[in-house]
Every structure is written in structure tokens, then in C-alpha cells.
Amino acid sequence: MAHSAALGAREYMVLALTWVHRQKLVHQSVYVVVRRCRREQEHKRHEHRQEATDLRHRDRCSIRCGDIRKGVQLAANSPSKLLKKECAEILEGMKQYNEAAVLFEKAGLYDRAAQMYIKLKNWNKVAELLPQVQSLKIHSQYAKAREAEGKYKEALAAYETAREYDSMVRILLDHLNNPQQAVHIVQESKSVEGARLVAKFFMKMGDFASAIQFLVMSKCIEEAFTLAQKHGKMDTFADIIGNDGRPEDYRSMALHYENSMNYFLAGKFHHLSGDSTKGLKLLLKSAQGAQEADAIMLAIDVVGEANSEGLAKQLIDFLLGEQDGVPKDPKYLFRLYMARKMYRESAKTAVIIAKEEQKVGSYRNAHDMLLGMYQELRKHKIRVPSELASNMMLLHSYILARIHVKRNEHLIAARLLIRVSNSISKFPAHTVPILTSTVIECQRSGLKKSSFQFAATLMKPEYKDQVDPKYKKKIEAVVRKPAKAEEEEFPSPCPFCENMIAETELNCDKCKRTLPYCIASGRHVVKGDLTECPYCHFPAIRSELAKFVESDDPCPMCNRGPIGAGELRIFPDAEVFLPLMGEE
């Protein structure tokens, strides 16, 4: 009793004898903190003089009151967040959670305040603080409490903030009957456990394809395989696995398809499992049936990836008909050579294929085949074979002639058609139409002698009856009145030696070089007016290609565009284009 009175004389008012010892400790602890904060403020009185005065005044009021409520009020009204925090921690230690929560909140320590309210199970106050709470653990605790009370939508929102996607999926499936959103969450979050829950849900629903998809996503591969095998969904399983499976997964699928006599898929998955030898064997077996094209193309990929001479020979023998006496389409051999980076052999095969396309009148296909081969050879710095270059030039001349007819450039069209008609045997599917077009364009351009020459060819017995009736009389008239001469073709200098030669002549009789031709006009290129297509990098007379640019037409060689006028850079000479020319 004497000790209490002495203490009051120094710091406190006399405490009521009816208060329990525990309450005394609380008051003393709060007071000690207040006093410490006051001393700290007094050290800074030049900055906080008024605050220190107020604090001392509140101290006196608190001392007079002598209860927790006043102590809390004292700290709550103080501008010091440190004071609030330390008082709150003392109150927390004494399990005065409600008062501690109030001070934590006023101190801006929302996570600590929320923890106090969670201990009190005051969920309404927790909910008020959640927007300012950073701790994911607190959001999770709140979500679990809401879920336990059956407040599933509130729990879902809190789980989302806590980033507990598995719990979100569980609530959506078990309580909110929203599998669509559950699927979306799994796909976005890549949650393995969430995927397992979704798979289980779809299995209950009998949607085995979806169940397999989410079992694979949840890494339950064996379970997914068993489910697929049991319910006839192996194709679905294979599609889902794609190229991301393990060797053992592919091996299991290969054995399944082999037992089902689906040799195409069995071969595919044996190859993916690492057994290319068995894979190729089954693919060639499949190629003897309805899946020939797909099986051969996949076999080419297998051989290209395996890089095995033995497997390559096995496939080549098959393509040449060694096994069944039926040679396969040359395009497969071409693709095989390309897959194995055998570019010279590819070029030879490309010429064969292009000739076949040309024979049946598929000039654009033949042109594109040779153009693609050109690009590959150039990319790998391999000189283009002369036969490929020559065939390419003729095909491009024919395609270009048709373009110029539409553009009313009849003289250019006539010169190009003369070039084509001089090799008419290479266009057997359209011999008569091409010769007829040549006669007409030559007539329009004043090339009477050339017109007569090709008209006379059309009047030969083997062609005469095939001439279109609407042109027949005109052609006969040209033959009846032959022209003795015509204006010679305008000359231009050879880009290498300056020798003057005809514009459409592609061989210089002085320097003996084959000359690069303009992709826009078919004429040989000239120095000082030399450019290239920015896409395919084939040469052109700049002023001629500029006409295509001005009319927004694509490149006549690669059919890409549009080309900007600023992209037609000038080249000083034609030497840069020599690698495009054919070798003997």
C-alpha cells in the first residue's frame, strides 16, 4: 500500500484498491510506453513543442482515469504511430485483442489489426480491412472462415486475392456448380492440383475427353492413358500429348496403335519415342494403303531427323519402286533430298518435277517450284544448274508475257512470246494457244515478219485444226501476205562488256556470258539502271520495275508486295547477280 502511494506521488494518481493486479500491470505498461514516447518527443521539442504539451496533458488525464479505456484513448489520440503500435503490442500481449486491433488500425498497421479481429472472429471488421491488407495469409484465413460458414462467393473472392487457385477450383466445382470458370482458372494458372480436380469432375460427368485433357495437365499421364485406352479416346490422348510427351508415353501409344493395326500412328509414335528404325518400317507399311501421302511425308521427316544413311537408302528404294514396282511421285524424292540438305540432288529432282508440271500446263506451279529451289541454292551458296536456270527463264517469260498483255505493253509481250515460241516443244499442253497469242501480239506490235513465221507454223497439218475459229481467218490472212522484213529490236549494252546487243538477248557474243534478265521486262539488265526485288532479290531494270511499283502491283517473279519506291536501291554493276546464273 505504501509502495502504491509512493509511486502515485511520483508518476500516478492513487490506484483504486478494488482493481486486480493484472489491470495494474496493464496500466503500468501503457504508462511506461507513454512516458518513453514523451521523453523522445521532448528531445525534439524544437520541432514538436505543441505535440509534447498535448501529450503531457493527456498523460495527466490518463493518470487520473486509471483504466484501459482511457489508456487506449490516450494512445489513440496521440499523433505518434509508434506510441499506438507499442501500446497495441502490450495490449496484444495481455490478450486485449479488441483494444489492440483499434490501435493497430489507427497506426495504419492493417495486417496486424486484421490478425486481432481474426482472433476475435469479428469477420465483419476483417472484411472492412481486407482492401488494405497485404498479407496473403490473412486473405486465406478469411476465405477459409467464409467457406466454413457457407459464404462461398465471398470465400471465392478472398481465395482469388490470396492466389489460392486450387481452392477456387474446388469451390467452383463443389459448391457453385461453375465448371466453365473452374476450367478457365486452371488454364490460366496452370494449377496441377486444380487440373486434377477438374479432371475428376469431368470423369463423374462422363466427359472422358475433357477428363483426359486435365489429367495430362495435372501430370497424371498414366491415369490419362488408362482412361483413354478404356474408353476408346486414344486419339484424344495423342492430340493432347502432342510433342510434349515423354519417350515412355510415346512408346505406350505406339504399341497401342500397332496392336490396333494403325501403322501410320504406330510408326509416328515409335519415331517420337526414339525408335526411328521401327517407326520408318511401319510408316512404309502404312504408305502401301490409303494413307500413302501422309505416311511418305512423315517418313521423310523421320529420315531427315535421324540422319541415317541406312534409313535414307531404305526410303529411296521405296520411292523408286524397288519394293512394289511402283515408282512414287518425284516430289517425295525432292522433299527427301531437301530434308537431308542434299541441295544438288534436290535441284535435279526439282527440274524433273517442274518439267512434269510444265507438260500438263501448270506453269505457275512449275515456276514456283524452280523459284523455291533457286532460293535454297542461293541461301546455301550453291550455283544454280544451267538447266534449272534455263527452264526458270522460259517459264517466267511466259508468265511475264501474259502480265504485259493485260498491261497493254504489246511490244514487250510480243518479244517475250517470241522467246517462248522458239522453245514451244517445252509447252506441249498449250502449243497452239501460245503460238496464236504470239501471232496476235506480233501483229499488234508491228513485228510482221515474226507474225508470219509463227502463223505459218500454226497452219501446219498437226496444228491447223486446233486453231480457235475466231482467229483462224486472221492467221490465214497473215500467211497469205507474208512480210519480208520488220524493224530490228532496239539494242542495249551488255552489262559486263558494254557490247551492244538486242534487248531481249540473254547471251553476249563478245564476252560469252549469260546475262541476268530483268524480272519486270524479260530484257537483259543494263548498268546504271539496275536494281532488285527487295523480297526475292532477283535483278531488274529499275525503270521497268518502277512501273509495277507505281501501279501497286506485286513483284512479277515472287508475287510479293507491295514494293515501296524507296526500296528500289541502285546497284553499280551486274556482277553481284552472277551467282544466280546457271552453271554448265
Q: Which domain holds residue 468?
A: 408-487
Task: Identify the domain boundary among 428, 460, 487.
Answer: 487
Do residues 425 and 505 both lie within one domain? no
Using the structure block, give the residue that is written with the C-alpha cell 496476235. 440
Do residues 471 and 531 both lie within one domain? no
Category of 212 on φ-ψ map: left (φ > 0), alpha (ψ -120 to 50) or beta = alpha
Share of the chain above pLDDT 90, in %: 43
Average of per-residue pLDDT across 520-536 = 93
Backbone dihedral angles phi then psi of residue 540, each to the nearest 5 degrees: -155, 155
End-to-end Cα distance, the chain: 123
Q: Give the count of domains, the chain.
A: 3
Residue 401: the pLDDT is 97
Do residues 22 and 106 both lie within one domain? yes
Do residues 518 and 569 both lie within one domain? yes
Maximum pairwise Cα distance, the chain: 149
CA dihedral 328, 332, 334, 339 (to 10 degrees): -150
Output 433 or 214, whichever has higher pLDDT: 433
Output 526 or 17, whichever has higher pLDDT: 526
Residue 384: the pLDDT is 87
Average pLDDT, the chain: 83
Average of per-residue pLDDT across 178-200 = 84
Residue 285: the pLDDT is 92
Q: Which amino acid is at 400?
A: L
Q: Distance (Å, rounded) from C-alpha 90 to C-alpha 29?
A: 7
Query: b/e for 499-509, b at 16 or more Cβ within 10 A?
Result: eebebbbbebe
Task: Identify the domain boundary among 455, 487, 519.
Answer: 487
Query: Residue 20: which pLDDT band, with cuts at 50, 70 and 90?
Result: very low
Output 505 or 71, whichever has higher pLDDT: 505
Do the domain assignments include residue 274?
A: no
pLDDT above 50 for 12: no
* Nearest Cα residue to 513 out of 498, 500, 501, 496: 496
pLDDT above 50 for 4: no
Enter the C-alpha cell of residue 263: 501403322
Query: Residue 105: which pLDDT band, with cuts at 50, 70 and 90?
Result: confident
Do residues 499 and 469 both lie within one domain? no
Residue 14: the pLDDT is 34
Q: Distance (Å, rounded) from C-alpha 556 to C-alpha 519?
A: 7
Check which CATH number belongs to the domain holding 538 and give it: 3.30.40.10
Do the domain assignments include residue 76?
A: yes
Do residues 482 and 532 both lie within one domain? no
Enter the C-alpha cell of residue 237: 490422348
Average of per-residue pLDDT across 390-404 = 96
